[in-house]
């Protein structure tokens, strides 16, 4: 049985705790590896080493740090196929989707190449007689990232790229469900020229997470995962005096206006609702057609598209639409929520409960589901399902449709499909959600903008990637300087305001 350890001080290290978690092949249900779970002592030792390595790295010219990012991007492109294969084998994503995962992380690394410009401070000449003022952006020291299973390449790069480019050391605690790709990223960082110890990858469970939260050395923490854990990490991390950003759950609505192109809307919903088996925080899980005629037309378009979806292992070829979910527990939870939808009165238009894949009966595959006549009191509407389940909530008017998105406790992403610019503009201005798509189903911003939700989808005041990331991973120091030509009048004992 393959044993996966940690990446500490530039090399692979076996765990010492004696505790392991199973790493499954989601397509077959078989255990393919065991990953070591770190102790607090292991985490603390790795953090201390990172702090020692950070001193020299933080003093390195920002342009030289950017060159490491540049070389890392080249190596990522070189090893794209190898990384995608490893990602798919542990997560279950199709190969094209795995490459997309890597690509969206790579784009953030490309943005980080511009670190010398992004780290520039501000300067005011002659703020007073002979007085200049300027600010400096300096690294916070050691930062940590606690990242989820659903994007084992992208989210680690979203976190570590800006942190490292800013001159910090970084402790990465990836998901124990698919740990291989984060370790491969660390190898590539070393090959790109990152000094040993500046990036540590520690696999673990709650013990490692709590050690990060309580570490007196770690100054900042980024997290992506479920809202209950986001709230826990944010509260405990902040109470320990750390800078914390946490991104939690989602329930993303897509409003379909009567004037929308129904074929375009249906295609968008299928891609956004069922891609990656729905295991995306930006997945569209709620369709909100306005008017019964719109809803009927939309359902008519959706049914044949959903029934044609090809579900299978990534090894079956690139025409597979989506693969298995990550664990048996995830599958059981999805099917439990589907049953609750039926029991609570929703109409199951496409029923994937009996889906079986010949030869992969023990895999974690979930067939596609489509509900109609869902109401806001149902569990399938209130809760994040994180599976291939699309719920249709019928709204009588635009205002009612807008209220669905605005009243939900989550506020990660939303979209509207319409041909009317005034409606789209009103929607974008009023809706209390962090990322908006107008005729775009998954409104994930590009790397040079920031990513972040509102309400219970995010905790903290700075978003991921883009300019916000460089603000999060640095502290601003402001200097007021005066270089007198000579002492003419003697010392001044009173506070003198600037002229």
pLDDT for 192 beyond 70:
yes
Q: Please report the pLDDT score of residue 491 as a whole number.
A: 64
* Cβ atoms of 112 and 166 closer than 8 Å: no
Assess whether 231 and 256 both reside in one domain.
no
Does residue 377 sit within a domain?
Answer: yes
Give the mean model confidence (pLDDT) for residues 60-73.
97
Domain edge (last residue) among 387, 410, 438: 438
Q: What does the pLDDT look like over 289-331, one tens digit per residue?
A: 999 999 999 999 999 999 999 999 999 999 999 999 999 999 9
pLDDT for 188 beyond 80:
yes
Q: How many domains does the chain have?
A: 2
Does residue 173 sit within a domain?
Answer: yes
Assess whether 85 and 210 both reside in one domain.
yes
Assess whether 236 and 261 both reside in one domain.
no
Does residue 210 sit within a domain?
Answer: yes
Give the mean model confidence (pLDDT) for residues 430-449.
94
Q: Please report the pLDDT score of residue 497 as a whole number.
A: 63
Q: What does the pLDDT look like over 230-279, one tens digit per residue?
A: 999 999 999 999 999 999 999 999 999 999 999 999 999 999 999 999 99
Q: Please report the pLDDT score of residue 443 as a whole number.
A: 86
Does residue 73 sit within a domain?
Answer: yes
Give the mean model confidence (pLDDT) for residues 188-197.
98
Q: In what order do the strands lie in the sheet with 284-289?
A: 347-350, 369-372, 389-392, 284-289, 252-256, 413-417, 435-438
3-class SS letters over 426-451: HHHHHCCCCEEEECCCCCCCCCCCCE
Does residue 98 sit within a domain?
Answer: yes
Assess whether 372 and 466 both reside in one domain.
no
3-class SS letters over the chain: CEEECEEECCEEECCCCCCEEEEEECCCCEEEEEEECCCHHHHHHHHHHHHHHHHHHHCCCHHHHHHHHHHHHHHHHHCHHHHHHHHHHHHCCCHHHHHHHHHHHHHHHHHHCCHHHHCCCCEEEEEECCEEEEEEEEECCEEEEECCCCCCCHHHHHHHHHHHHCCCEEEEECCCCCCHHHHHHHHHHHHHCCCCCCEEECCCCHHHHHHHHHCCCEEEEEEECCHHHHHHHHHHHHHCCCEEEEECCCCEEEEECCCCCHHHHHHHHHHHHHHHHHCCCCCEEEEEEECHHHHHHHHHHHHHHHHCCCECCHHHCCCCCECCCCCHHHHHHHHHHHHHHHHCCCEEEECCCCCCCCCCCCCCCCCCEEEECCCCCCHHHHCCCCCCEEEECCECCHHHHHHHHHHCCEECEEEEECCCHHHHHHHHHHCCCCEEEECCCCCCCCCCCCECCEECCEECCCCECCHHHHHHCEEEEEEEEECCCCCCCCCCCCCCCCC
Q: 46-74 burial string, b = 16+ CB within 10 Å, else e?
A: bbebbbebbeebbeeebeebbebbebbbe
The token pair that represents 243 in the structure block: 């800078």
Rg (CA), the chain: 25
Q: Please report the pLDDT score of residue 487 as a whole number.
A: 57
Assess whether 199 and 237 both reside in one domain.
yes
Assess whether 239 and 276 both reside in one domain.
no
Give the mean model confidence (pLDDT) for residues 459-477.
95
Which of these is catalytic: 112, 166, 246, 281? 281
Q: Please report the pLDDT score of residue 64 as a whole number.
A: 97
Residues of the chain with pLDDT > 90, as a percent, come to 94
Q: What does the pLDDT look like over 35-53, one tens digit per residue?
A: 999 999 999 999 999 999 9
Does residue 445 sit within a domain?
Answer: no
pLDDT for 494 beyond 90:
no
57: left (phi over 0), alpha (psi -120 to 50) or beta: alpha
Assess whether 468 and 335 both reside in one domain.
no
Residue corresponding to tokens 């950070």: 54
Does residue 495 sit within a domain?
Answer: no
Does residue 447 sit within a domain?
Answer: no
Domain carrying residue 270: 252-438
Query: Where residue 322 sits, what CATH number does that domain have?
Result: 3.40.309.10
Query: Where residue 132 sits, what CATH number does that domain have?
Result: 3.40.605.10
Residues written for the chain: 499
Give the mean model confidence (pLDDT) for residues 428-446.
95
If pLDDT is split at 50, 70 and 90, which confidence band does 496 have? Answer: low
Assess whether 138 and 155 both reside in one domain.
yes
Give the mean model confidence (pLDDT) for residues 425-445.
95
Q: Does 166 participate in catalysis according to the annotation?
A: no
Give the mean model confidence (pLDDT) for residues 463-490.
87
The token pair that represents 11 in the structure block: 């090399």
Give the span between the Cα atoms of 208 and 201, in whole angstroms. 11
Assess whether 45 and 193 both reside in one domain.
yes
pLDDT for 490 beyond 80:
no
Q: Please report the pLDDT score of residue 130 as a whole number.
A: 86
If pLDDT is split at 50, 70 and 90, which confidence band does 128 have? Answer: confident
Q: What does the pLDDT look like over 2-39, one tens digit per residue?
A: 999 999 999 999 999 999 999 999 999 999 999 999 99
Give the mean model confidence (pLDDT) for residues 130-145.
95
Assess whether 214 and 283 both reside in one domain.
no
Assess whether 172 and 212 both reside in one domain.
yes
Assess whether 311 and 243 both reside in one domain.
no
Pairing type for strands 11-13 and 6-8 reads antiparallel
Q: Please report the pLDDT score of residue 442 as a whole number.
A: 85
Q: Please report the pLDDT score of residue 129 as a whole number.
A: 86
Give the span between the Cα atoms of 298 and 289, in whole angstroms. 8
If pLDDT is split at 50, 70 and 90, which confidence band does 122 have? Answer: very high
């Amino acid at each position: 049985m393959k044993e996966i350890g940690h990446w500490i001080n530039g090399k692979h290290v076996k765990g010492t705790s004696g505790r392991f978690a199973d790493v499954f092949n989601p397509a077959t249900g078989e255990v393919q590896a065991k990953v070591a779970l770190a102790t607090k002592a292991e985490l603390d030792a790795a953090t201390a080493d990172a702090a020692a390595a950070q001193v020299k790295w933080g003093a390195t010219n920002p342009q030289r740090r950017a060159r490491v990012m540049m070389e890392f991007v080249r190596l990522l492109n070189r090893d794209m196929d190898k990384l995608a294969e490893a990602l798919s084998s542990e997560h279950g994503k199709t190969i094209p989707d795995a490459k997309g995962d890597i690509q969206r992380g790579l784009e953030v690394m490309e943005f980080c190449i511009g670190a010398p410009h992004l780290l520039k401070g501000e300067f005011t000449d002659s703020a007073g007689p002979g007085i200049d003022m300027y600010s400096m952006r300096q690294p916070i020291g050691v930062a940590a990232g606690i990242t989820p299973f659903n994007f084992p390449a992208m989210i680690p790069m979203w976190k570590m790229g800006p942190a490292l480019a800013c001159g910090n050391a970084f402790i990465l605690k990836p998901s124990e469900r698919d740990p291989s790709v984060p370790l491969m990223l660390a190898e590539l960082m070393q090959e790109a020229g990152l000094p040993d110890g500046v990036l540590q990858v520690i696999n673990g469970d709650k013990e490692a997470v709590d050690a990060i939260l309580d570490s007196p050395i770690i100054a900042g923490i980024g997290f992506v995962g479920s809202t209950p854990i986001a709230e826990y990490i944010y509260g405990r991390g902040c109470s320990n005096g750390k800078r914390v950003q946490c991104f939690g759950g989602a329930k993303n609505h897509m409003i379909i206006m009567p004037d929308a192109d129904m074929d375009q809307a249906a295609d968008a919903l299928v891609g956004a609702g069922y891609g990656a088996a729905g295991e995306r925080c930006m997945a569209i899980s709620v369709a909100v057609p306005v008017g019964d005629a719109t809803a009927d037309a939309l359902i008519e378009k959706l049914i044949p598209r959903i029934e044609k979806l090809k579900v299978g292992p990534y090894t079956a070829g690139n025409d597979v639409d989506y693969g298995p979910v990550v664990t048996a527990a995830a599958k059981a939870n999805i099917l439990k929520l589907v049953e609750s939808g039926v029991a609570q009165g929703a109409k199951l238009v496409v029923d994937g409960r009996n889906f079986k894949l010949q030869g992969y009966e023990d895999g974690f595959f979930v067939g596609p589901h489509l509900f109609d006549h869902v109401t806001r009191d149902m569990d399938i509407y209130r809760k994040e399902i994180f599976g291939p389940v699309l719920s249709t909530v019928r709204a009588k008017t635009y205002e009612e449709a807008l209220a669905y998105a605005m009243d939900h406790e989550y506020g990660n992403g939303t979209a509207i499909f319409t041909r009317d610019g005034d409606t789209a503009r009103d929607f974008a201005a009023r809706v209390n959600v962090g990322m908006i798509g107008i005729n775009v189903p998954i409104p994930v911003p590009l790397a040079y903008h920031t990513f972040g939700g509102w309400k219970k989808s995010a905790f903290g005041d700075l978003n991921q990637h883009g300019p916000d990331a460089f603000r999060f991973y640095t502290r601003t120091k402001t200097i007021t300087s005066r270089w007198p030509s000579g002492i003419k009048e003697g010392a001044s004992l009173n506070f003198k305001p600037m002229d």
